[in-house]
Chain A
Amino acid sequence: MFRTASITCFVIVLVGIAIHCLALRPKLGGLFGKEKQKLKLVGALRKLVYLLALLCFAVLLVTGFTPRLLLGTPIAGYWLMLHATAAPVFAVCVAVLAVMWADKCRLDKNYWPWLLRILHHQSENKAVPEKHELAQKVCFWLIVFLALPLILSIILSMFPLFGTHWQEFLANVHRYCALLFALIVIAHTYLMALVESKRNTAK
């Protein structure tokens, strides 16, 4: 069940991104910017943490899903050890990024004009958000939200609190949260690439 669901979801998301790329031909070349920007310490730290998080995510994605999806076995052995090694680093990175990006990713009233229309309310701030920015920010908040059950489900199972039935339940929560989390991170990364490359190109 999980195997089928996972493969289907990954295929849908990756194919969706590929179609989007082919249809709109976004200019991802501007992602890394031609001009060297001087980064402040916080900015550099933020980028460093983000890159570390991406690296850990890749490790977790491979070690977590390969045994289940490709080998048809539960995660065990060296896969599990690598997974458990990358996981705490990733958890810290997500927490740090959440703190650093939360303010930047606020969904202020410019992102919900439909609500303002319903309330017959005119906003003074007419700034129009960039394309894909809303989706990227929603993805960010989903990532922050999903990280909680994802981490807690596995950490709580390490305490002598839950019996076999609940252990299995927690393992399933971890599994399905991880699937959803992975899909959203992939989408978020793609959307961020789009937004950032557009910003860099505009500069």
Chain B
Amino acid sequence: MKKGLIYTIIICFLLLGCPLSGTTVTAQELLGDVSDGSQSVYVHLIRLYDGEGTAIAADDEPAQPFSPRQTCGKCHSYETISKGWHFNAADPNVVPGRPGQPWIFVDASVGIQIPLSYRAWAGTFRPEQLGITPFEFTKLFGRHMPGGGVGELDSDEAMRQFVSGKLEINCLGCHNAHPGQDQGGIFGYASQIAQQNFRWAAAASSEFASVSGSAAAQPDTYDPLMSDAVATKYRANTFDDTNRVLFSIVRKVANERCYFCHSNVNVERHGSEKWTADEDIHLTAGMTCVDCHRNGLGHNITRGYEGEDEVSENLLAGTSTCEGCHLGTGSSVPEAGRLGAPVPEHPGIPPVHFEKLTCTACHSGPWPAQKTYRCKTSQAHALGTHGANKSPDALPHLMFPVLAKQPNGKIASHKLIWPAFWGTLKDEKVTAITLETVRQVVGGVTGGERLPPSGDWPDLTEAHIAKALGSLQESVEGTVVYICGGKLYQLDDSGQLSKEEHTVAEPYLWPFAHNVRPAAQSLGIRHCEDCHATDGPFFFGKVAVDSPLVSERRAVRTMIEFQGIDTFYAWAFAFSFVFRPWLKIVALGSCAFLAGVLLLYALKALACVAKVLVGND
């Protein structure tokens, strides 16, 4: 009897207990995961925890750097946050969406400038193709990464990763409102990344801790208790008497935090002098970046492009676009004018323009000139970090605005980079050769050329390329090629250098929206000829071709080559606008005659009817 009762209890436990326990594990909701709706800012007076989850106290010796995963993760689900757009690039299950700004690896000494991304954006290369491991990638670009994602992947350099630790999400990088948050300073976040102090980066960037020492300088047998170990020191008065620390955390991130990773500068018009350039019109009007680029706990921030709602789970993806605020999305209730957005009239602009152009084509970036400008960005040029090259010629060379057709058929403003790299050609596909091989082989050939202090290309010649290809051919299997300036170079059967256009040599373009110009400076504001002119930059502007080869540096392409429009048609259509005033005069004159005839005979008819009515006929 007792045995039966015990079995029954065990079976009941197995049937009910296990699934229930599973449910509680997966649906765990932390204190800060869901808002109660209050618009006020929660005061974060909290304990710090190290990477092991041990609480940090003021008198700990040696002091450990706090871990955002352990500290912030006590109240906010780190795992959920880590799936957000800023952290999920390396997740193959994430839909890449519209092409975005890639990371750009540059090594001028061997003629390399190549767009990299873990996202499947056509035209970019995966870092591992060049032999760049996640650890190496973090070392190179972690300066402008918010942590998490690639920074937390296991790498082949297990021992180095053991010393450096993983680069956890640095929540403070965005959410710390304290002016002492140091992302680019000499002891700040970017400097810590350069020294491979991944574990210490978040603490070092905060206003209440400082870090000394370099993980890069530590041996694989690193011991945290060694005298020259990387050390963390919390400033006086950081901890209160209960060992809690006051954070200046805000939900609504300040523009300056976004700017650290998302600054742009038109080096040809403004150089690096930011006081000469205007900000985006939205920011000038008093808005913040996160007014439009919003996210919830999942940090799946809206990118703000048309059609994003098809690939994003963010509830606001469909409405956080230019049209969403300025025109509404056709809902049954009025939506236009969100956040005070003026509703545009677009007088005199035929509606076909809205089918063929994105808003950014006319409103974003600098007013198109006869030739594209060069620009620098935080991520590409390490802007805002200690020792960033301030020269306008520093690589990588990014061109903008390029008015090119997107996959959805609309022309938009783009930034552009011409890839330059060494690869092998097989079945019309080019595979990049690893950096290690290129540096060993090509470095010896091109190394004789002096690298300019401006950070520009060295003066490479076709002889350099031919010699380097010959040397590489001896070290690498397959047909060795060099891609640069939109062309593919290879040695022909006679050993002579030949060049041809190739799809893999085509530039990588990504659309941009900021800075948005005021409506009074948008294309078409003056007249149709802002774009429809036979020499108008919209169709016939020159896109500079960038190449390390001296002989190719003056090469240009025409904007229309990126628009999928027949050149003669665009020219003829633009030419027809010369006659547009005549068309208007002739048509209005004809209308005047027609109206005159109608009026005259209407009056005659009226007179006739009147005569009949009075019997005077």
Contacts and interface: CB of A to CB of B under 8 A. Distances in A.
Interface of A: 74, 76-78, 80-81, 84-85, 87-88, 91-92, 94-96, 98-99, 102, 106-109, 115-116, 119, 121, 123, 141, 144-145, 147-148, 151-152, 154-155, 157-164, 167-168, 171
16 contacts: A80-B573, A81-B572, A81-B576, A88-B590, A91-B586, A95-B589, A95-B590, A102-B600, A151-B591, A160-B347, A162-B347, A163-B344, A163-B345, A163-B346, A164-B349, A168-B351
Contacts of B594: 94-95, 98, 144, 147-148, 151
A152 B355 CA distance: 24
A87 B346 contact: no
Nearest to A108: B608
B598 A145 contact: yes
Nearest to A122: B617
B612 interface: yes
B349 A88 contact: no
A143 to B, nearest CB: 10
Contacts of B586: 88, 91-92
A20 to B, nearest CB: 29
A115 B609 CA distance: 10
B584 A155 contact: yes
B350 A102 contact: no
Contacts of B580: 158
B348 interface: yes
Contacts of B595: 148
B534 to A, nearest CB: 14
A77 B565 CA distance: 10
Given A123-B617, A148-B594, A171-B350, 8 more contacts: A74-B355, A77-B569, A88-B590, A91-B586, A119-B612, A145-B598, A151-B587, A168-B351
B346 A164 contact: yes
Nearest to B581: A158
B583 A99 contact: no
Contacts of B588: 155
Contacts, number: 112
A110 to B, nearest CB: 12
A148 B6 CA distance: 96
A155 B587 contact: yes
B593 A99 contact: yes
Interface in B83-110: none
Interface string B344-363: 11111111101100000000
Contacts of A98: 593-594, 597
Interface in B588-617: 588-591, 593-595, 597-598, 600-601, 604-605, 608, 612-613, 615, 617
Q: Which of B584, B587, B608, B615 has the most CB of A within 10 A?
A: B587
B563 to A, nearest CB: 13
Interface residues of B, number: 39
A164 B354 contact: yes
Contacts of A115: 612
Contact of B601 (A78, A96, A106, A154): A106
A81 B571 CA distance: 12
B590 A160 contact: no
Contact of A152 (B591, B604, B617): B591
A152 B598 CA distance: 15
A152 B351 CA distance: 17
Interface in B460-519: none
B560 to A, nearest CB: 14
Contacts of B605: 107
Nearest to A107: B605
A90 B528 CA distance: 24
Contacts of A76: 352
Contact of B590 (A81, A94, A123, A158): A94
Given A106-B601, A121-B615, A148-B595, A91 B587 contact: yes
B400 to A, nearest CB: 28
Nearest to A125: B617
B303 to A, nearest CB: 25
Contacts of A78: 569
Q: Which of A94, A161, A164 has the most CB of B within 10 A?
A: A164
8 closest A-B pairs by beta carbon, nearest first, are A160-B348, A163-B345, A91-B590, A95-B593, A95-B590, A88-B586, A160-B347, A98-B597
Contacts of A119: 612-613
Contacts of B600: 102
A81 B573 contact: yes
B577 to A, nearest CB: 10
Nearest to B605: A107
B336 to A, nearest CB: 12
B410 to A, nearest CB: 14
Nearest to A92: B590
B330 to A, nearest CB: 13
A74 B597 contact: no
Contacts of A107: 605
A87 to B, nearest CB: 7
A158 B352 contact: no
Nearest to B566: A77
A162 B351 CA distance: 11
Nearest to B595: A148
A167 B350 contact: yes
A164 B605 CA distance: 39
A84 B583 contact: yes
A167 B355 CA distance: 14
A120 to B, nearest CB: 10
B584 A148 contact: no
A164 B351 contact: yes
Contacts of B569: 77-78, 81
B604 A106 contact: yes
Contact of B349 (A108, A121, A167): A167
B55 to A, nearest CB: 61
Contact of B583 (A88, A159, A160): A88
B598 A148 contact: yes
A109 B583 contact: no
Contact of A151 (B354, B590, B597, B608): B590
A157 B350 contact: yes
Interface string B314-332: 0000000000000000000
B576 A74 contact: no
B347 A102 contact: no
B591 A167 contact: no
Contacts of B591: 91, 95, 147-148, 151-152, 155
Given A74-B352, A95-B590, A98-B593, A158 B598 contact: no
Contacts of B352: 74, 76
A158 B584 contact: yes
A174 to B, nearest CB: 11
B520 to A, nearest CB: 13
Nearest to A96: B593
A119 B612 CA distance: 8
A164 B582 CA distance: 24
A158 B347 CA distance: 9
A83 B344 CA distance: 30
Nearest to B592: A95
Nearest to A159: B348
Q: Which of B584, B593, B608 has the most CB of A within 10 A?
A: B593
A91 B586 CA distance: 8
Contact of B348 (A102, A121, A154, A161): A161
